[in-house]
Amino acid sequence: MEFKKVIGLRRSIRFYQPYRPVERDKIQVLLEAARLSSRAVNADFVQAIVVNRDDLSAEDRESLKTPTTTAQLDLAPVWIFWLIDPTAPRIGQTSLKQLVDVGALTPSHGWSHAYVENVVWPQVLQPIMADAATAGLVAAVEAGLAINQALLAAVDLGLGTQLTALNAANAARILGIPEHLIPIWIQLVGYSAENNEAGGQRPRPNPFEAVYFEGRYGHPYERDEEVVKQLTEDGMIMPQAPYPWRKDELRALSRMFGLPE
Amino acid sequence: MSDAETLAGQETVGRWLRAYDAQWNVKQTDGETRAKLEVLARFCAVCGKQPDELVTWLFRPTPEGPRIRLKRRREVMALIDGFETDNGGRAAGNTVRSFLIHNGVALSAPPLR
């Protein structure tokens, strides 16, 4: 699928075909996409556990739910548990030197083994890791980059997907997750039971110019309508929700799956 | 006055019926409403609480606003599961769930697969 179309078609899908499994090779594509994301220090800030819904006991499934993440967990056949690792920069002392060696970080930009050893490691990375809030913030951003690539890869493969909240303590217990890792999201994966446009692109709360600035804060980055028109033609910008038939679709899906209205 | 007619005067019931119509862009007929209220009345008999009382019982007042009592919510969910088995199946259970959802109690049902 064309890149702009992938961005345009991404939705949080909440109705899946519960009976249709997802091919293993497609799940691997999602993980490969996450692995290739931009990442500070070339560290693994995010890890994942792929779980087939039906391999979990009913009791364990229930214990992972939160009040509003119920039906979609029952419907999606594959759950990818994404785990954040705030300790990931611990490899920075060696991983940054490796990036120097492979030509990613270069002397032209001030990089050397000595700079990593004497400056970056003791003055930047160690203080970051010593402060739990900063380490968590850095790790969350880095993890988000990777997870988003997995989301977009799912869309590219024609799969339905979404991130959903979970009971992290129960996830850690059930899946044997080490203490230093934080279960942050479950990425649900399956074949969508709803139209893949899911009723239209979600309306954003603020206009473009209210959140994107030029030169200084508060000075709007002027939105060129010609660009908007081109992106609309390319499928990145799509009609906004709700489509006129969306509520009928939701009602029909609810009735099909015996869910409340 | 039947049990169902009595329920119609409860604040939470009125909120549910109005919110349902607004959510789905419909105007339920008197017959549809009556059928729902009869189901809700049967559930109220099972749980021993009137609708307003049931919703109040599920929330704990806090300075930041009402908070759901999770243990009680689980109790009610289990009660609904049992109720639908004995009282007309999933449609009956979902009537009760719909009443609670539109009164701010987030819950769902196991999807039929």
Strand order in the sheet with A78-84: A46-52, A78-84, A182-190, A160-164
Chain A interface test: which of B40, B72, B108, B112 (most A C-beta within 10 Å): B108
User: Is the pLDDT assigned to residue A142 strictly greater than 60?
Assistant: yes
| R_g of chain A, CA atoms, integer Å | 21
Full-model pTM: 0.93
A260 touches chain B (CB under 8 A): yes
Task: Specify the pLDDT at position A69.
Answer: 72
Bridge partners of A1, per DSSP, are none
Tally of CB atoms within 10 A around A240: 12
When pLDDT is averaged across residues A67-86 and rounded to a whole number, the result is 92
Q: pLDDT (tens digit, 9 = 90+) per residue, A8-21? A: 999 999 999 999 99
pLDDT band at A55 (very low <50, low <70, confident <90, very high): very high
The complex scores an ipTM of 0.92
Taking alpha carbons only, the member of B63, B37, B69, B64 closest to residue B50 is B37
Bridge partners of A16, per DSSP, are A192
Chain B interface test: which of A17, A65, A74 (most B C-beta within 10 Å): A74
User: Is the pLDDT assigned to residue B94 strictly greater than 90?
Assistant: yes
A19 touches chain B (CB under 8 A): yes
Q: pLDDT (tens digit, 9 = 90+) per residue, A196-212? A: 999 999 999 999 999 99
pLDDT band at A181 (very low <50, low <70, confident <90, very high): very high
pLDDT band at B2 (very low <50, low <70, confident <90, very high): low
Task: Specify the pLDDT at position A35.
Answer: 98
Q: pLDDT (tens digit, 9 = 90+) per residue, A30-53? A: 999 999 999 999 999 999 999 999
A242 CB-near residues (< 8 Å, 6+ apart): A199, A200
